[in-house]
Amino acid sequence: MSGLSNLVPRQLRGFVVTGKLPFKPKVTVQYPEEKRPKPERFHGRHVLNRYEDGMEKCIGCELCAGVCPAKCIYVRGADNPPDRPVSPGERYGFVYEINFLRCIHCDMCVEACPTEAITESKLFEFSFASRSDAIYTKAELLVDDDGLPQQLPWEDWKPGDDRNTSGWVRATSPAGDASSEGRAMWSGELGYGVRRPQRGQSDPSGADYPADTDISLRETLSGALRGIGVDDKRPDRGED
Amino acid sequence: MSGDPLFANGLNLAVWVILVVKVVAVFAIVLLSVLFMIMYERKVIARLGVRYGPNRAGPNGWLQSLADGTKLLFKEAFTPKGADKVVYKIAPYLMLLPALIAFAIVPLGGHITIAHHTTELQLADPQWGILFLLMTSGVAVYGVMMAGWSSGSKYPLLGSVRASAQMVSYEAVLGLTTATAVLVTGSLHTSAIVAAQHGGFLYHWNIIHTAVIPFILFSVAITAEMTRAPFDLVEAEEEISGGYNLEYSSVDFAWFYLAEYAALITNSAIIITLWLGGPDGPRIAGHSIGPVWFIIKMLVVLYIFVWIRATLPRLRYDQLMDLGWKRMIPAALAMLMIIAGFQATTTTSGSGIAHYLAERKWGFLAIVASVLLYALLTRAIEVGKQATGLDDPTDAHHKVGGQI
């Protein structure tokens, strides 16, 4: 409290605090029209990735289905047809279904996948109205020829919202070597290429990857908090 | 007062029609302003919380309360098994009726001429005028008590006991402060009270004529009377989950909700009528724009009510009763005495400070007596606290709230 509010009786100073608030910028985000940037590792709906040449990454190994704690993934592998191979190996994912009524977006399928075939996007606005819509088939999960996710009729996202798709990150090297810290990479994304490496935990500037989205999010929040009188700075108590 | 000029030539068909139109108009004003007030409160309190509030239904969200109300009406009207069904069904109406009819005595400013019949912009101007307000707020207590008791449920009963105790306690303050306004005006007619405050923005208003304090006491008391924040311990959801209307749903709950906001509208109008000059205000381009000033004052007063709700924490029950009985009633009584003393001013010839004091001797005597009595009262409270061991000064920091 400083300045004019010292003149207000102690019991009424609360009115000064609340009286200032209508003139502060609002913290509310007008959701459908404006969207808050998503955290870097947001777990949205899955996509099935493809290689640059259009081959599918999935080899039908069913590790994702095995590791899934919600038992929402159903995979059946099949041998690649020799004349028209679907994936570069021996086998490919013949059936691939994810039941989003059960999926808890834990990301374990992504960690289990040996070929980075399945990743989680940041897309989360899929308000399906029937059970059959909730079960995403391979045709729906697979990215298109440009490596971008398909927008299904019941999904509410605008062009560009998929920019931040595919949020998988390798925090350490596959071998678990600590010296690789700071060099761990994002997985490659067909539509948008490869991102910068993540910072290591011993980096003094913080463990978080300082993505633009994160910074703007933090600024929005801290600005709002400062607006209502919550400040991270300690009050100056002088020399005593 | 001569009363409404509408009745000057006796009753005929046109007078009756105008009367019915006025009744319907006032009814519609109250109901529409309730719809408005719910949105106004939600939007203002949102802005006081650095939010936008509802802004989706209708233009900028202003139809949200209409949508909510419509939905509420189509819900199941539930009656608990242990309820006293007749009383349970009557209670909401007993709550709604006083809130709606109290607006009838509010003068909205000036006259209007319809088909050669001039009438006041005020539904009723009875001789007992402002006493009507005290009557309606007294009747509303019955609605609260009946609702809480007939629900056949513990928490509504506790809520209604709290509410009726609170309303009855603060009604004393309400009556005493209303009496001060009536004293300086010399009439119970609301139209006369407004007329007496006419001319000169603020200067002739009762808030100045009664030295502000009764206005503050009245506003606080009427806030408590409406069981609005910070006096909403009646509906303290952490303690008694919902208050006297907990078991109500659908239409019956809608009436309670409507009554609550209708009372807020009416009481704000009464505050303006009694203390803030009613529709008095500067003329714009030679035109008297009473109703416009009235609406502006309403918006300001309602904003302050919401501001209070957004700022002050809820009182504890003992704090509520302390404030009412040990602070506000004595203060209201003292102000009534002082203002009565100054009303008894004698006019004599002479000049100088001694003459000034002599003319107003009863007023200054009342001030001295009030200070003495207040000191006596404070001492009595202290003695009582020490005798009962409550609020021991050495133990003060163990208490949660302390004194108000």
Q: Looking at the domain assignment, is residue B27 inside a domain?
A: no
Contact A52, A236 (CB under 8 A): no
- The residue of A5, A10, A15, A18 whose CB has the most chain B CBs within 10 angstroms, and thus the best one to mutate to test that interface, is A18
CB-defined contacts A:B, below 8 A: 33
For the entire predicted model, the pTM comes to 0.77
- Average pLDDT over every residue of B276-282: 79
Let me know whether B323 and B209 are in one domain: yes
Let me know whether B282 and B368 are in one domain: no
Let me know whether B216 and B273 are in one domain: yes
Domain boundary among B300, B317, B343: B343
Q: Looking at the domain assignment, is residue B93 inside a domain?
A: yes
Q: Cα-atom radius of gyration of chain B, to the nearest Å?
A: 23
Distance from CA of B51 to the nearest CA of A (A): 5
Q: Looking at the domain assignment, is residue B161 inside a domain?
A: yes
Let me know whether B238 and B384 are in one domain: no
Q: Chain B, 51-90: which have a CB under 8 Å from a chain A CB? A: 51-52, 55
Q: Cα-atom radius of gyration of chain A, to the nearest Å?
A: 24
Contact B360, B345 (CB under 8 A): yes
Domain boundary among B318, B343, B368: B343
- Average pLDDT over every residue of B23-36: 89
Domain that holds residue B87: 70-107+125-343
Does B52 sit within 8 Å of A18, measured CB to CB? no
Let me know whether B201 and B275 are in one domain: yes
What residue of A is the nearest CA neighbor of B43? A22
Q: Which two tokens stand for residue B389?
A: 């061991």
**A204 preceded by cis ω (within 30°)?**
no
Let me know whether B216 and B357 are in one domain: no
Q: Which two tokens stand for residue B284?
A: 């714009």
Let me know whether B244 and B298 are in one domain: yes
A177 conformational bin, left if phi > 0, alpha if psi -120 to 50, beta if neither: beta
C-alpha distances in angstroms, B77 versus A9, B74, B83, B84, B145?
48, 9, 13, 15, 20
Tell whether domain A39-155 is in CATH 3.30.70.3270: yes
- Order of all β-strands in the sheet with A91-99: A73-79, A91-99, A135-136
Say how far apart CA B256 and CA B262 lie, in whole Å. Answer: 10
Please report the DSSP string for chain A in residue order: --GGGGGS-GGGHHHHHHHHGGGSPP----TTTS-PPPPTT----EEE-B-TTS-B------HHHHH-TT--EEEEEEEPPSSS-SSSSSEEEEEEEEETTT-----HHHHH-SS--EEE-S---B---SHHHHEE-HHHHB--TTSPPPPPTTB---TTGGGG----B-SS-TT--GGGTT---BPPBTTTB--PPPPPTT-TT-SS---HHHHHHHHHHHHHHHHTT--SSPP-----
Q: Looking at the domain assignment, is residue B32 inside a domain?
A: no
Q: Looking at the domain assignment, is residue B64 inside a domain?
A: no
Let me know whether B245 and B356 are in one domain: no
Q: Looking at the domain assignment, is residue B112 inside a domain?
A: no
Domains: count for chain B: 2
A51-108 residue pLDDT tens: 877 888 899 999 999 999 999 999 999 999 988 888 888 899 999 999 999 999 988 8
Contact B357, B339 (CB under 8 A): no
Domain boundary among B300, B328, B343: B343
Distance from CA of B323 to the nearest CA of A (A): 14
Instruction: Quote the pLDDT of residue B345.
Output: 74
Let me know whether B100 and B225 are in one domain: yes
Let me know whether B251 and B351 are in one domain: no
- Average pLDDT over every residue of A111-123: 84
For the question of an ipTM over 0.90, the answer is: no
B350-376 residue pLDDT tens: 777 777 777 778 888 888 888 898 888
Let me know whether B98 and B145 are in one domain: yes
Let me know whether B359 and B336 are in one domain: no
B300 has a pLDDT exceeding 90:
yes
Does A28 sit within 8 Å of B52, measured CB to CB? yes
Does B310 sit within 8 Å of A18, measured CB to CB? yes
Q: Looking at the domain assignment, is residue B94 inside a domain?
A: yes
